[in-house]
Amino acid sequence: MRQKYDVNQYEKARKKRTKLAALIIFILIPLTIFIGIKFLGDKKYLIISLLIIIYTMIPFFLVFERRKPKARELVIIAMMSALTVCGNMVCYMMVPFQAGTALVIISGIALGPEAGFLVGSLARFSSNFFQGQGPWTPWQMFCWGILGFLSGIIFNKVDIDKIKSRSFQIVKGPVLTILISILVAYFIHIKWGDGTFLGWKLYVFGAIGLIIGLLIQRKRLPIDDITLSIYGFLTTFIIYGGIMNIATMVMASAIPNTGISISFKSLAVLYISGTPYDAVHGLGTAFFLFWFGEKVIQKIERIKIKYGIYR
pLDDT tens across 290-304, in order?
999 989 999 998 998
191-235: per-residue pLDDT in tens? 777 676 677 888 888 888 887 877 776 667 778 888 899 899 999
pLDDT of 10: 62
Q: Nearest to residue 147, comparing CAs of 258, 237, 58?
A: 237
Ordered structural domains, the chain, with CATH: 7-167+222-307 (1.10.1760.20)
d(CA 37, CA 199): 25
- Sign (positive or negative) of CA dihedral 240, 243, 245, 250: negative
pLDDT of 169: 53
pTM greater than 0.85 (yes/no): yes
Provide the Cα torsion 16, 18, 23, 29; round to 10°.
140
pLDDT of 177: 82
Please identify every stretch of the chain with a pLDDT value under 70, giving residue numbers as ranges: 1-10, 41-43, 63-69, 94, 156-173, 194, 196-197, 217-219, 310-311
113-131 and 137-154 helices, crossing angle to 10°: 150
Provide the Cα torsion 252, 258, 262, 267; round to 10°.
-80
d(CA 145, CA 25): 8
Range 67-96 burial, b when 16+ CB lie within 10 A, else e: eeeeeebeebbeebbebbbebbeeeeeeeb
pLDDT of 255: 78
CA 104 from chain centre, in angstroms, equals 7
Q: CB of 235 within 8 A of CB of 207? A: no
